[in-house]
């Protein structure tokens, strides 16, 4: 999804990277919440939350 967003909206400035990072972090967080509330695959939910935190960290580095 992140690659599609990047190719779809590529601008010379870093705004597409920042917006894309927030979208990917939100997407991963929502997937993790669904997995937690259904009671299945807690390991995958934790992995997705860690990747969401990493996406937010990269957004902060690119600002």
- The 10s digit of each residue's pLDDT in 12-38 is 556 777 888 898 999 999 999 999 999
Long-range Cβ contacts of 30-33 (<8 Å, 24+ apart): none
- Please state, for a pLDDT cut of 90, what percent of the chain lies above it: 49
Query: What is the C-alpha separation between 4 and 39, in angstroms, rounded?
Result: 30
Neighbours of 1 (CB within 10 A): 10
Please tell me the pTM assigned to this model.
0.75
Average pLDDT over residues 33-52: 94
pLDDT band at 58 (very low <50, low <70, confident <90, very high): confident
- Which pLDDT value is given to residue 29? 96
């Amino acid at each position: 999804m992140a690659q599609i967003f990047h190719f779809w909206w590529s601008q010379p400035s870093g705004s597409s990277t920042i917006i894309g990072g927030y979208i990917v972090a939100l997407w991963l967080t929502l997937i993790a919440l669904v997995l937690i509330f259904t009671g299945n695959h807690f390991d995958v939910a934790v992995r997705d939350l860690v990747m969401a935190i990493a996406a937010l960290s990269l957004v902060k580095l690119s600002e």
